[in-house]
Structure 1
Amino acid sequence: MTTLEPLTFRGDLDVPEGLPRGLDLGRINKDTVDKAIAMFGRPLVEQVTDHALLADDYAYRAFLDFKDKSNSMNWRTFDTAVEHGLDALDDVTPAVAALFEQMESVPDWVDFDQIYRGAVAFWRAGMIVQPILAWATIAGGFSMYSATRPVLFSGRLRKADKVGTRLIESFRYVVAAYTPGGMGRFEEGFRLTAKVRMIHAAVRHSLNNSEAWDWADWGIPINDMDSMVTQAGQFGVKFTDAVQASGIRFSDRELDDIFALSRYVGHVIGVAPAILHTDYDDARRKTELHTMLELPPDDLCRDVVESVIRFSIENPPGDVEVLPGPIAKVMTNERRLKLAYGLLREWLPADVMDALGAEKTAWRHILPAARPLIRVADRVQRALPHDDEKAAFTLLHNFNSAIAVPNGDKRNEVASYDEISADVAANKGGMPVVAKV
């Protein structure tokens, strides 16, 4: 493999000088680079990997204004602007104005009717959605070497007393963003997406200044490359693949609609237009490329995946039961853990499951055995009169009741900006300091 010439301009803040191009970062699996170039073409491979050194500067510049006490911008005024618009503020800095201009812009490819249909399709599959989100999408997402690095610093996914809070916060965000109608400008999905975007900026700032952040290995914290695959892959390709692997088929129109929704969520959360997926086929292509270039899961990935799955089993978010009643009654926690890993054998690639050290128990046969029955039931249900919107909102009602913020206090619906920044800055996850050379 030929080493690339360093980029002369990355357009990003706080990136140290002298870093290699994205393709030469330590996080890239060098054994698969030539295969990736042969399959996807060098231009796409270079474009995607170079975005490991690019991130959301709109939100980052706004965050720097929050830290500057010489102006009136802070977390409180940001929350006010998200809920009521910039006109609710008397004084707005140029960086905050630019962030809201970008975030509130509606690209010409957005069709809100299509986005609404995509959200209905996302949830209409019923109860199977809950374990897929908990185990395949959220926990399984941390099987990715690169995705795991930023979250390790706060310790919130390595410490038992913090895992539950982090998991429920993730559920709240995903449920809100993917609720039909939730991404309207003054709806809950848009509001939480904007808040998560600023949490990412705060975490990025703390990691940028951490002696334990390995720039030459990992690139910029919470970068465009990984943010893109969160929407295109984690809540797109990998979610829809898992649902269909379970025997429930999405129509071509449903897939188009789901990926239009995830594309718009990606736009609002700040994924650069140059790398944001354009449709289902583009999302699959970029997700497969990202997966091919990932290093195998390491011990840190294994710890995070198991901590999330084990907690979701022992303490289901809001006590929502993800298994049918008759099965749930006979399932101990250890059986549930084996079942979760058995299902993941169908939902995640075999090499990933092997790298995670997942035991091959008899539970891995349960979904292949049930899939023909699920497939037939799905076909019959689709052939008969059905109300997908009602099915989606019924599931969402139960989910939202379970993950509701105690006492309706919106300050606790997602991570506290200041708390997460402090935890990351203190490296409560215990990540080792990078040796100076």
Structure 2
Amino acid sequence: MTSAPTRPDGRTFRGDLDVPPGLPRGIDLGRIANKDKAIAMYGRELVEKLTDHALLADDYAYQAMLDFKDKSNNTNWRTFDLALEQGIDAVDDPSPGLVALFAELDRIPDWVDFDQLYRGAVAFWRAGPIVPPVLAWATIAGGFSMYSATRPVLFSGRLRQSDKVGTRLIESFRYVVAAYTPGGMRRFEEGFRLTAKVRMIHAAVRHSLSHSEVWDWANWGVPINNLDGMVTQAGQFGVKFIDAVQNSGFRYSDRELEDIFALSRYVGHVIGVPADILHTGYEDARRKTELHTLLELPPDELCRDVVHSVIAYSVENPPGDVEILPGPIAKFMTTERRLALAYGLLYSWIPTDVLTALGAERTAWRHVLPAVRPLVAVAHRIGRLLPHDDEKTAFDILRTFNAAIEVPHGQKAVAVANPEEVHADIAANKGDMPVVARS
């Protein structure tokens, strides 16, 4: 068994690089709610283990980011991209941090079965036309209803300024679609590449916020921390996605659930969630997601701004002008109707108390999905009994989605956020976040 990779100073990675001293334990951070109830329901050991990770983050990527800042070596975004495209051996004299990061990226855990991951990706998309609106409105927009997950995105203003929302939304779609494309998470495929790229962008955002006078450590913990990274994969693109699809009338088999959560587990591994809190399967993901939800503060005005901004933009400007609604529905939908429909559907996909806190309009469209759900369920059951081709269904939806989010002129470098632009926006506090008083 090989020893854990070390930092350039010889210490093993702990997840606390650049974390200031004197902070409370994770369970005592201002962002943690209902801790006594959580301990009573889930046990102190699990609650403290997960909340401790609000003060820990991905030091493999972060150390590589620190190497980028050190001009005494030749490690930078260009050499990172080279290692990502061709392997770490293609880089001349890579820094210790970059070597350690790629040792992690190239390590395939013994639980990974790429055939299972392929099946999981097919299952993820095989519900067909309902998947794009679930992803856009329930998963991505709805994910920003979480108080803690919203904090790191506020400072750049990219999800609060109308001229930036579209770019940010399409970048999110590109990453998720690529990662959940069948076969996309093999080492040199696009899903793996974008997942690793997003991992480094997270490190860049963490670095920018860690050195910002507006980041509130005692309340929020580490920017882009392990706890929130875990629930993004286990919850946002796992449990909450599955629940929204199944609340629409579809049903996943036990095997499909195992396969989908094996895929989201590997995406979590590649993006830097540590093994000791990374979900191990469907039931573990649900348990950790429900605990995280219990520990969350209610959505605040900033959450409301972001959620409404994302939904309004996706309704008024479908990604790439390609419909995310099924064709027969889209034909008679004005922008006003689309917005009302989006909020109506959310009442079947997101808990009512969350929507109330977000100030979501209770449109008449909220009755539509409950009314048609029995018909969808019957059609789904019949369809599963008849000959069907889930792989074709998945790739048909992916073909449409990829047309909507295609990178301009094949420019792979702009598939996801430009870290230098994000850093500049954070440094300028374009989100107009208040400065935190320091003791």
Q: What's the TM-score once normalised by structure 2's chain length?
A: 0.96
Is 2:33 aligned against 1:22? no
Aligned to 1:39: 41
Distance 2:205 2:80 in 1: 17
- How far has the Cα of 1:10 moved from its partner? 6.1
Q: 1:50 aligns with which of 25, 44, 52?
A: 52
Q: Map 1:12-411; keep pairs closer than 5 Å.
A: 12-29=16-33, 32-411=34-413
Residues 10, 53 of structure 1: 8 Å contact kept: no
- How far has the Cα of 1:325 moved from its partner? 2.5
Distance 2:180 2:430 in 1: 31
Residues 163, 311 of structure 1: 8 Å contact kept: yes
In structure 1, give the amino acid aligned to 2:345. Answer: L
Distance 1:426 1:274 in 2: 36
2:62 partner SS: helix
Distance 1:11 1:169, change over 3 A: closer
1:318 partner SS: helix
Residues 132, 239 of structure 1: 8 Å contact kept: yes
Larger CA deviation: 318-327 vs 121-130: 318-327
Aligned to 1:6: none
Distance 1:342 1:292 in 2: 25
Gaps of 5+ in 2: 1-12
Q: Deviations over 1:327-366 (max 9, x none)?
A: 2222221221111111111101111011001121211100
Larger CA deviation: 36-45 vs 326-335: 326-335
Q: Deviations over 1:177-203 (max 9, x none)?
A: 000000000000000001000000000
1:373 partner SS: helix
Residues 132, 325 of structure 2: 8 Å contact kept: no
- How far has the Cα of 1:11 moved from its partner? 4.5
Aligned to 1:419: 421
- How far has the Cα of 1:425 moved from its partner? 1.8
Distance 2:324 2:413 in 1: 27
Q: Deviations over 1:260-300 (max 9, x none)?
A: 00000000000011110011000000000000010000000
1:277 partner SS: coil
Aligned residues: 427
Distance 2:208 2:325 in 1: 39
Distance 2:400 2:340 in 1: 26
CA RMSD in angstroms comes to 1.0
Distance 1:290 1:334 in 2: 34
2:204 partner SS: helix
1:429 partner SS: coil
In structure 2, give the amino acid aligned to 1:136. Answer: A
Residues 141, 234 of structure 1: 8 Å contact kept: yes
Distance 1:133 1:70, change over 3 A: same
2:75 partner SS: coil
Distance 1:403 1:11, change over 3 A: closer
